[in-house]
Amino acid sequence: MAMYLVDHSKNMVHRTAFIKTECDHQEISKESVEHLNDAKSVELLLSNKQYDYCQHCSQNNI
Ligand SMILES: [Zn+2]
């Protein structure tokens, strides 16, 4: 399993290890979902493309 699940429709990054029902990750369409394993790509999304960590599974909420 990849470490990160990116929802490109909502500009949201989930952390798969901590994902919950509230994340609604099953609602994400196949065209919008991307699985990433490297933190660098995630950092780029967060800093350059205004993506955010999902509030339900982000580090700050665990
Ligand atoms: Zn989430």
Structure confidence by residue, pLDDT tens digits, 4-61: 999 999 999 999 999 999 999 989 999 999 999 999 999 999 999 999 999 999 876 5
Per-chain residues with Cβ under 5 A from ion ligand 1 = 14, 23, 54, 56-57
Distance 46 CA to ligand 1 centre (A): 15
Give how far the C-alpha of residue 2 lies from the chain's centroid of Cα atoms, to the nearest Å: 11
Distance 15 CA to ligand 1 centre (A): 6
47 three-state secondary structure: helix
Distance 55 CA to ligand 1 centre (A): 6
